[in-house]
Structure 1
Amino acid sequence: MDTIFYALLSALILYVLYLLARIGHRPNGYPPGPPTLPVLGNIHLNPHLQFQIWANQYGGVYSLMLGTKTMIVLSSDNPIKDLLDKKSAIYSGRPDLYTGQTLMSGDKRMVMMNYGSPWRTHPLLQTLFENLDNYVRLNTTGGAMAADFYPILRYLPTSLMPSKREALDHYNHEIKLYTDLYLATKRSREKLRSTSRPCVCDDVVEVQAKEGFSDEYTAHIPAQLWEAGSDTTSTQLYAFVQALLLYPHIQAKGQAELDFVVGPDRMPTLEDMSSLPYVRACVKESFRWHPTAVLGAFPHSTSENDTYNGYRIPKNAIILTNTWAIHRDPKRYPNPSVFDPERFIGDNTTSSESANCMDVSKRDHFGFGAGRRICPGMNVADRSMLLGISRIFWAFDIKPKKGKALPTQDDFEPGFVAIPKRFDVDVKPRSDGREKIVRSEWEKAKEGLDEDGQFLGGWGGPKYNGGQSAGPTG
């Protein structure tokens, strides 16, 4: 009897060891990828430059084994068009992000959901930014990723998994912050609806009443609109300033265009953009040269098994868009590491129009993603960048700081958004007259804001932005 027991126990142990050894193993038929280690798979290897190397080695579609999870990396334009756009019905899910979505968001952060489920110094805004910074930090810890790729770790008590306690503490703080802000805004809108400018929160309140969403759930809608735009456009402009230091001839050409079209007596507005082809090309090149989401921001996930070019793609696979590798592909963009707006001269499409182009080889860039999860704010980003870059050209001279080294290209701070590491720069007005105009426009803008930087009054309020109304806000 003892012999049979020990034989069965030995067989069970061997079977468990076999299953453990299979974790991280790439099954037959999956897209190719780098060699794996037992249990770890490829989880010990780091992006994003490595992802580009693998794209060159394994092609436009390759796979990584991350513990118990499979990641499919799309590193060229045709697979993105074929899968994320044409098969968006099954490629628009989100991975099972235990820390980021379940613990830290209470399953309320819509950007992570599967379908069916300049006043920064102000104390309140500072709190919002600190909250977002903490969210990013906790999402990129080893504990967060370990629980995503090895689900069994989710059952550990918080005493043995400190990252779990930190994530839950973050959620409790964040949900109160966002809910309090939403309810305060909701009350304010009810009082001022007849006189205030249109606000997205008005629509959110109507949706909440119609769908019966809780205040906590609804609060995440405007909160995520803020999160999505809080540092993306500013990072793009920051990277553009870096490009002006590394490629000074860009500034000279841009300034010449602004001087010819706009002149010295007023700031450029959106009405000028059709006459500023070089500015428009600089915007497109900025999105290409320095995408803020070098690995496609939040990955997608498959809701069904699929095949592509003879390869198996399993259900619940993580789908990553390797934006960096595509934007550094010399076949698409000659001399891809060089900031060269000339490559987009004559391309008058917006980011949205280009993303919907049937011929994916003609798409300008992939910075806003693809498929059903494509960034809904791309038109706002386009306009913000057009105004930002044109006004930098018009108003300022950007030069290296005397005695300081030039910034290192492609050297980023860690985090979701690829922010260039700090560098020194000398920014001066091009003339006294332009400085006076900039200061005058800023004073006009402040007339339409309260002490918290919020818009005052109705549509008859002050005009600014070089003759542009502020437009809807909220």
Structure 2
Amino acid sequence: MPVIESPMGLPSLLDLLSSQVVRIALASLFLSGIGALIVDHVRMLRLHKKMPPGPLPLPIIGNTHLLPRNKPWIYFEQLSKELNSPVITFWIGRNPTVWINDAWSASELLDKKAAVFASRPRMVVFAELTGMDQSSDVHAKKPGSNLVTMYYGDRWRVHRKITHLGVGLQQVREYRGFRTTRVVSSLTNYCERPKSIVDPIITEVIAVMQKAAELNVPGKSFPMLFESFPWLTNLSPTLFPWMFQGLGKRRRGQQFFYALAEEAHEKDPNSPCYANQLFDEQPKYGLRTDEISSLAGNLFGAGSDTSSSTLITFVLACCAFPEVLPKAWEELDRVVGHHRSPSWDDKPELVYIKAFVKEVLRWRSVAIIGGQPHAPISDDEWNGYTIPKGTWTQGNVWAIHHNEHEFPDPDRFNPGRFLKESPDARPFPNDKGYMTFGWGRRVCSGQGLAEQGTFITIARLLWGFNIQKALDEQRREIPVDIFNYTDGLNMRPQPFKCRFTPRSAEVRKAIEREGRQALEDLSVYDGESERVAEFFSRNKQEA
């Protein structure tokens, strides 16, 4: 029987069919991708119309390309003015974020609606990539461990309650004696010569805290680009180490604080210190190791970097605006005199000093975007606009504290703004006159402690010293730049030179006399942490 051959061999036919199938599959995949992209962008545009004003988001990238390299809070302030809206929407990748740029809107949303804006949004960089899961349910597969990032819920309430055991308004009054003694000993150092005391352990921990503070400022470079494109977190840190650089240090910091708390508890389990309170509460609430670590570490991290930055800002203000000092000295001389330093009993009469402290907190607030973002626990309405559940909602403290309506000539350091009889005073939605410590149920837990410490330190520095610009070799004053600040979430002045001069011989003698007593009182705290030193030595060997 004759064989009839096809003009095209069977293998060739199969190859052709296979290539056509591949082309069809690729075309279908491409069209599906385009379709999904269109559908997603339509979703973004529909939501964009419902939310407060903002630039039109592009597919996938949103408005990320518009972010400046540095200090985005200034950009959001300007954008708010251009759009003539105190509340604006800015898309970070496919997700909208809301930025509040005036005090009255911040009060309406974050204070008056505190129960609604009580949660946190998903934070890819600050929480997930640094090992802090956000769930507020202790029974969840990965329960949250840190009050700062935790979603609102029962576990958050437990952490807040335990934190108040250490820094609640009633508790911080008991620290006044220690804080006063510590400030006095510092004054002695300035009187002799400014000293640089470097503890390698504390230095590294503060460096970790400063790094963490940089991980919540919107940006278009790594690691903050993860916030715009969360899928990038699926990439391997081994293959792309430059993308994940520095994020692992946060985990070591968590281990450090547990070691520190455990050592303090074991050395003296009966002392009234916060570490013992944590271990006392552990059985009642089933606190895990990582929870004890975060509860201890939050107080250190929130208080160390922020307090020091505030005091450096105070020194900068004294150098840049020396005209505000004589009135402070007049009040201190009248109320206190030169024979002793200010005490807590003097506070009611130190009206100008209290205003001075408030202006420091207002002029260059450390947590320049109000700390960590809020998120509504349900959809909310503002002036006819919708803010969807879970939306990243941030108070722009820079814009709030530099609004010309509340603070005319806002870059001028002027304590008179906080004196009721002053023509510079303006209405403000809260009694304090500033929003440095956040809002609502997420207000900084350590606000009372920070305000207390800032007052006594500034009062005593103003009483003790004339703080001035440094002099060059020709005895000319070296200028200072009031805008030269760091870019992180907790901003501080870049290094500058200054000089401290005791205000009188009598003041100097009082500082030296009180300083000797303070050093004696503080001697009970002398010593080093053996376990923590071993911990850091081990980590360096493993690194």
TM-score (normalizing by structure 1): 0.85
Cα root mean square deviation, aligned: 2.8
* Equivalent residue, structure 1, for 2:76: 51
Partners of 1:246 and 1:168 in 2: CA distance: 37
- What's the offset of the Cα at 1:188? 1.7
Partners of 1:37 and 1:222 in 2: CA distance: 43
Distance 1:313 1:432, change over 3 A: same
- What's the offset of the Cα at 1:164? 6.3
Partners of 1:369 and 1:68 in 2: CA distance: 27
- Unaligned ranges ≥5, structure 1: 348-356, 456-474
Q: Which of these two proteins has the greater Rg computed from alpha carbons?
A: 2
Distance 1:71 1:289, change over 3 A: same
- What's the offset of the Cα at 1:11? 3.1
* Equivalent residue, structure 2, for 1:378: 447
Of 14, 18, 39, which aligns to 2:38? Answer: 18
Q: Alpha-carbon deviations, 1:88-115, whole Å to 9, x = none?
A: 2221211212232123143323211112
- What's the offset of the Cα at 1:227? 0.6
- What's the offset of the Cα at 1:215? 2.1
* Equivalent residue, structure 2, for 1:266: 340
Q: Alpha-carbon deviations, 1:228-255, whole Å to 9, x = none?
A: 1002222222112111122111111111
* Equivalent residue, structure 1, for 2:489: 416
2:461 pairs with 1:392: yes
Matches within 5 A, 1:277-292: 277-292=351-366
The answer as to whether partners of 1:138 and 1:163 remain within 8 angstroms in 2 is no
- What's the offset of the Cα at 1:158? 1.7
AA aligned to 2:401 is: H
Matches within 5 A, 1:63-462: 63-107=89-133, 108-116=145-153, 121-136=198-213, 142-162=221-241, 165-166=244-245, 169-190=248-269, 193=270, 196=271, 198-346=272-420, 360=429, 363-403=432-472, 404-450=477-523, 453=526
TM-score (normalizing by structure 2): 0.75
AA aligned to 1:40 is: I
- What's the offset of the Cα at 1:172? 4.1
The answer as to whether partners of 2:214 and 2:489 remain within 8 angstroms in 1 is no
- Unaligned ranges ≥5, structure 2: 1-19, 134-144, 156-185, 187-195, 422-426, 529-543
Distance 1:61 1:83, change over 3 A: same
- Percent identity reads 28
AA aligned to 1:434 is: V
AA aligned to 2:375 is: S
424-433 or 267-276, larger mean C-alpha shift: 424-433
The answer as to whether partners of 1:104 and 1:171 remain within 8 angstroms in 2 is yes
The answer as to whether partners of 1:100 and 1:144 remain within 8 angstroms in 2 is no
Partners of 2:26 and 2:129 in 1: CA distance: 42
* Equivalent residue, structure 1, for 2:53: 32
- What's the offset of the Cα at 1:389? 1.8
Secondary structure of 2:207's counterpart equals helix
The answer as to whether partners of 2:254 and 2:297 remain within 8 angstroms in 1 is no
Distance 1:408 1:53, change over 3 A: same
- What's the offset of the Cα at 1:165? 4.8
Distance 1:434 1:30, change over 3 A: same
- What's the offset of the Cα at 1:453? 4.5
- What's the offset of the Cα at 1:153? 1.5
Distance 1:171 1:5, change over 3 A: closer
- What's the offset of the Cα at 1:439? 2.3
Distance 1:254 1:12, change over 3 A: same
Larger RCO (alpha carbons 8 Å, 6+ apart): 2
Structure holding more helix per residue: 2
411-420 or 22-31, larger mean C-alpha shift: 22-31
100-109 or 295-304, larger mean C-alpha shift: 100-109
The answer as to whether partners of 1:281 and 1:345 remain within 8 angstroms in 2 is yes
Secondary structure of 2:148's counterpart equals helix
The answer as to whether partners of 2:366 and 2:492 remain within 8 angstroms in 1 is yes
Partners of 1:430 and 1:20 in 2: CA distance: 66
The answer as to whether partners of 1:104 and 1:167 remain within 8 angstroms in 2 is no
The answer as to whether partners of 2:262 and 2:275 remain within 8 angstroms in 1 is no
Distance 1:71 1:88, change over 3 A: same
AA aligned to 2:501 is: K
Secondary structure of 2:283's counterpart equals helix
* Equivalent residue, structure 2, for 1:463: none
140-149 or 2-11, larger mean C-alpha shift: 2-11
